[in-house]
Amino acid sequence: MNKKLNIWLGFFLLAQAVLTTVNAEPAVEVLKQDFVFPNKIAGFPARLSDIKGLEINYFTTNDGVKLAYWQAGKGKPVIFVPGWSANGADFIDVIYLLSSGYKVIVLDPRNQGLSEQVRQGQRISRYSMDLKQLTEHLAIKKADFVGWSMGASVLWGYIDLFGTDSINKLVWIDEPISIYTREDWSEQERRNAGGMTTSAERMIAAFAGAPTNNQVVDMKVMERFMAQDSLHFQNSQAFAKAVIKTNPEYMAQVLFDHITNDWRDVVQYKLDMPVAIFSGELSHNLPSQQWAQSVIPGAKLYVYTAAEQGDHFLAAKNPVKFVADLKAFLQ
């Protein structure tokens, strides 16, 4: 009986693997268009169809939400979790460079990118569960994980809920450990945590376009986004704008939960794998990233200079250096 059961189980797992492969579709077919990047950059594709093997696929979570993910390349899996409002299109140059030696997977979180727009599950814990279910859908037992901005919070939530057994190495890019500043914190505690607002509601309103100032929320991130001072960044932003239709109302729902989470206990006590942190001179988050490095044994901190596009968008603005540094860490 056990022998027959094992045979049937083997057939089931093989069928699941075949279905996963068959369901993946070339990106240009899913998007129903090709895309010509506005800036020609030596060594980079001129159009989307030049990125061979780039696919977009979908899976459904256990609360019935259809989520998209981008994938390319072969080898050890590296799973990316984008920040708030971001998606696979924002990582297009990173995908292109890294997929030469790795299987790169970028999840579009719910209400972002090509994923379904819904009102349920607007909590970081649910986003962390979505990530867990992506790994189960792809039958990935262990991978390297990279989180940018809010994506780092999703990874901290993942670790808090599910532990670290499935994580080989952990990387995050420029995310405060706690966005919300508590009234009883000292200035040093605020800097260590990365606190950048005392009002979640006013910060959300500011992101929606309401008048604000630097005491309501640190606007350095918006200033660096508006700079558009990188040809790579111009390309990825133009691509995202052309193929992604976002709804600010849906995206804003997760912000309150995101802002008010304090991850210092996870960062300080629960990271037992190799960790790399990326930040830069042009980011006000740098002090909190330095604190994180100081409390995580063996953590490596990459600090990009202003000339190296060392701001919140460093991976998209300087993908050549970022991927080179990432590969060096992962290897």
Class of domain 25-330: alpha beta
Give the single-character DSSP code of 181. P
Sequence-separated (6 or more) residues with CB below 8 Å from residue 319: 93, 94, 97, 232
For residue range 30-85, list pLDDT tens digits in order. Answer: 999 999 999 999 999 999 999 999 999 999 999 999 999 999 999 999 999 999 99
Instruction: Please report the pLDDT score of residue 214 as a whole number.
Output: 78
Instruction: Please report the pLDDT score of residue 217 as a whole number.
Output: 83
Query: The whole model's pTM is what?
Result: 0.92
Would you state the structure tokens that stand for residue 79, as one six-digit string? Answer: 């799973």
Rounded average pLDDT per 10-residue block, the chain, 331 residues: 43 38 78 98 98 97 98 98 98 98 98 97 98 98 98 98 98 98 96 95 87 82 91 98 94 96 98 98 97 98 98 98 98 94
Domain ranges within the chain, ordered by starting residue: 25-330
Alpha-helical regions (H) of 261-318: 264-269, 286-295, 314-317
- DSSP3 helix / strand / coil % (the chain, rounded to 5): 45, 15, 40
Which phi and psi (to 5°) does residue 197 adopt? -160, 155
Instruction: Please report the pLDDT score of residue 74 as a whole number.
Output: 97
Sequence-separated (6 or more) residues with CB below 8 Å from residue 179: 194, 195, 196, 197, 203, 258, 259, 260, 261
Q: Evaluate whether 65 touches 287 at the Cβ level (below 8 Å).
A: no
